[in-house]
């Protein structure tokens, strides 16, 4: 049960709101579930919600329901009813000691007022009051009683005002207000501001170590809530137990000791968002790491957020070209898809992700690279590559290096996804790379074991499957009504000795829309990218390809499969018929065109041209070792002599009859000159 629900229930008790009114509201919500959905939907305007309340519910409860809608807290209604009942059954335990913190010592009159407040609030007129000076609160008083804290200080006033303004801004964003209206809302929020002596729940640390702290005294914390330690370090509630809470730390634990005070914030863990993050390197909490100063944010998004509903999703039909011929032709990726990149270490997984990012230049796609547990030197090398290729301007790097605490590595992909969601709901297309989720699972395993959760297979906790499913399900393509943007996810998984049946690979394979499998033997033999066409698959298929690619690339996988089979049998036979030799020669040349240099993505129209040349058997006269030289020469020839051909494929997205005739003639012309040149 959250503290917010308890606070609402306490207010209802103080105003002596009858229980029957709450029951009437519950009956309506159960009878008409659509009403609850409207109240909890942030896209429904405040005016519409108020109109529904005025029409349906009794006058005595309307203001309270409107407050819940205005604060976007209607989802707490059931908890509020439960807390209301508990407050009626359980008298509050009497506290005997209180502490008053001050900057300037209180007068006798002020002390009498505070003692009267204690007697009324805690039903104990004989409570002992001790005084303590603390300059950090600036002015005013802070009153601590057990695990509760009442803040009348200047510091508390500033915090409350900041929260009030933030809530007003968020509320205005969910409606269609003009800029003048928003300014008016902010002005009234400031003018009408009154300090509320809200009590804060505080606890103390009873154990700390390895980025984990166990805290006593906080009874109403909720999962994912941010808490603040006296030393300034923030943490997130990760484990809620009967007598204590487990907190993961977003900083070093060297300043946290047994007995350190912990204060609840009532806020979910989140990250600042905005367009200004493009081109920057940040940590898992959104703080800049590139030394280029602060980043101006326009909002705040929780790192954990529900995935788009089924009705808000649109089928994947728009291609997300990687620039890698073998992938775009055989395993196409569409915008909104989740395509797994899997393979042993040092097989080129990150290179494929980087090529895909480089290929998005000029395509209005925001790219986010989440580095989880990587070496700092590796990330620096990637950043240099992006800068060298003018790709950093549309890329965001979220870094949680190997030296960062496990909690930061754990939240990094969720933080990256929160940033991606900001752009998606703005109607933009986003590409996000998680490099890699194997290390993410290891970080989560470390956290879970330290929190004393029961280990399962390979010592992973039982909810490790949900760990990645709730992350990857947030990637989708939205309908225009829901925002119209998309998040395309490229999660990376590292295997051991090619074992795709291990625990984590199996889990992630089952919740993605296909996988690109990189084979160690192919990589070591010099075939790069080392994509295994037999084990790789894209479940989106041809719906994420342009017509030209779909038309000519269909036969590639079949021809490669036939080649592999024939190549295996040909080792045992000396005499091969002409047709078998032709098939082997054709397969060898198709394999050769699939080779591609690193950081050299190929535009899709050039891919179509070379695949056309290969499938139409124009390469049979070309020596295998000369195929790549022929490919490069053909592209240069078309650019200089026939630029209209690649331009037509680019613009039309298909090969029309006229374009095909021109292409045939151009290939034959270049082939003739190429053979003459090479036969000299």
DSSP for residue 496: S
Question: Which residues in 303-377 belong to E strands, given as ranges?
Answer: 340-343, 365-372
Of the residues 13, 252, 457, 539, only one is catalytic, namely 539
3-state helix/strand/coil string of 46-63: HHHHHHHHHHHCCHHHHH
Please answer whether residues 417 and 474 qualify as being in contact, where contact means their C-beta atoms are separated by less than 8 angstroms. yes
Euclidean distance between CA atoms 185 and 444, whole angstroms: 42
Residue 505 exposure: Cα atoms within 13 Å on the Cβ side: 17
Alpha helices in 131-269 (DSSP H): 154-173, 179-191
3-state secondary structure 585-652: HHHHHHHHHCCCCCCCCCCHHHHHHHHHHHHCCCCCCCCHHHHHHHHHHHHHHHHHHCCHHHHHHHHH
- Distance in angstroms (rounded) separating the CA atoms of residues 211 and 198: 30
- DSSP per-residue letters across 391-433: -GGGEEEEEE-TTS-HHHHHHHHHHHHHHHHHHHHTT-EEEEE
Return d(Cα 330, Cα 166) in angstroms, integer: 48
> Rounded to the nearest 10 degrees, what angle do helices 503-510 and 464-472 cross at?
30
Catalytic residue flag (residue 650): no
DSSP string, 543-571: GGS-HHHHHHHTTHHHHHHHHHHHHHHHT
Q: Would you give the DSSP letter of residue 95? A: P
Tokens representing residue 552 in the block: 């000519």
Catalytic residues: 539
């Amino acid at each position: 049960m959250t503290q917010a629900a308890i606070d609402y229930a306490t207010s209802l008790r103080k105003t002596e709101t009858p229980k029957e009114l709450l029951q009437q509201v519950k009956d309506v919500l159960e009878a008409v579930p659509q009403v609850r959905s409207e109240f909890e939907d942030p896209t429904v305007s405040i005016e519409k919600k108020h109109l529904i309340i005025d029409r349906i519910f009794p006058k005595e409860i309307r203001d309270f329901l409107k407050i819940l809608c205005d604060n976007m807290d209607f989802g707490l209604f059931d908890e509020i009813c439960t807390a209301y009942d508990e407050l009626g059954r359980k008298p509050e335990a009497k506290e005997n000691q209180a502490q008053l913190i001050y900057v300037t010592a209180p007068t006798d009159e002020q002390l009498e007022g505070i003692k009267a407040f204690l007697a009324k609030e805690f039903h104990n007129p004989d409570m002992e009051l001790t005084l303590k000076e603390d300059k950090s609160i600036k002015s005013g008083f802070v009153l601590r009683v057990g695990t509760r804290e009442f803040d009348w200080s200047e510091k508390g006033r500033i915090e409350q005002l900041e929260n009030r303004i933030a809530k007003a801004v968020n509320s205005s964003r969910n409606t269609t207000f003009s800029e003048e209206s928003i300014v008016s809302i902010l002005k009234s929020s400031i003018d009408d501001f009154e300090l509320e002596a809200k009590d804060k729940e505080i606890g103390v640390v009873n154990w700390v170590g390895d980025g984990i702290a166990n805290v006593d005294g906080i009874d109403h914390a909720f999962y994912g809530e941010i808490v603040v330690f006296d030393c300034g370090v923030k943490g997130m509630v990760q484990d809620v137990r009967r007598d204590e809470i487990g907190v993961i730390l977003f900083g070093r634990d060297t300043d946290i000791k047994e007995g350190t005070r912990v204060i609840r914030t009532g806020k979910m863990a989140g990250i600042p968002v905005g367009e200004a993050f493009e081109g920057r390197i940040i940590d898992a909490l959104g703080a800049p790491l590139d030394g280029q100063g602060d980043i101006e944010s326009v909002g705040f998004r929780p790192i954990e957020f529900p995935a788009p509903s089924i009705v808000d999703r649109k089928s994947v039909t728009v291609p997300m070209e990687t620039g890698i011929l073998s992938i775009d032709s055989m395993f196409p990726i569409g915008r909104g898809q989740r395509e797994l990149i899997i393979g042993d270490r040092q097989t080129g997984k990150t290179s494929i992700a980087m090529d895909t990012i480089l290929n998005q230049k000029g395509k209005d796609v925001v790219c986010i690279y989440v580095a989880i547990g990587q070496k700092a030197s590796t990330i620096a090398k990637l950043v240099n590559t992006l800068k060298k290729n003018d790709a950093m301007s549309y890329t965001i790097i979220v870094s949680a290096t190997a030296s960062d605490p496990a909690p930061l590595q754990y939240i990094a992909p969720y933080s990256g996804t929160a940033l991606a969601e900001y752009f998606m709901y703005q109607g933009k297309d986003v590409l996000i790379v998680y490099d890699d989720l194997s290390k993410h699972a290891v970080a989560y395993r470390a956290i879970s074991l330290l929190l004393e959760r029961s280990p399962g297979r390979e010592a992973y906790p039982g909810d490790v499957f949900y760990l990645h499913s709730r992350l990857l399900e947030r990637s989708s393509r939205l309908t225009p009504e829901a925002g119209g943007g998309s998040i395309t996810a490229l999660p990376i998984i590292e295997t051991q000795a090619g074992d795709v049946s291990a625990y984590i690979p199996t889990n992630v394979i089952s919740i993605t829309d296909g996988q690109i499998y990189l084979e160690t033997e192919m990589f070591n033999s010099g075939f790069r990218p080392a994509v295994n066409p037999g084990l790789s698959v894209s479940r989106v298929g041809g719906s994420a390809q342009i017509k030209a690619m779909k038309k000519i690339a269909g036969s590639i996988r079949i021809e490669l499969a036939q080649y592999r089979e024939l190549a295996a049998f040909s080792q045992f036979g000396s005499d091969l018929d002409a047709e078998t030799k032709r098939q082997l020669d054709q397969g060898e040349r198709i394999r050769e065109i699939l080779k591609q240099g690193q950081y050299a993505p190929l535009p899709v129209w050039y891919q179509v041209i070379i695949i056309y040349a290969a499938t139409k058997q124009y390469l049979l006269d070309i020596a295998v070792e000369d195929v790549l030289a022929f490919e490069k020469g053909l592209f240069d020839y078309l650019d200089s002599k026939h630029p209209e051909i690649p331009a037509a494929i680019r613009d039309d997205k298909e090969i029309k009859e006229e374009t095909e005739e021109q292409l045939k003639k151009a290939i034959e012309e270049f082939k003739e000159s190429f053979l003459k040149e090479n036969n000299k």
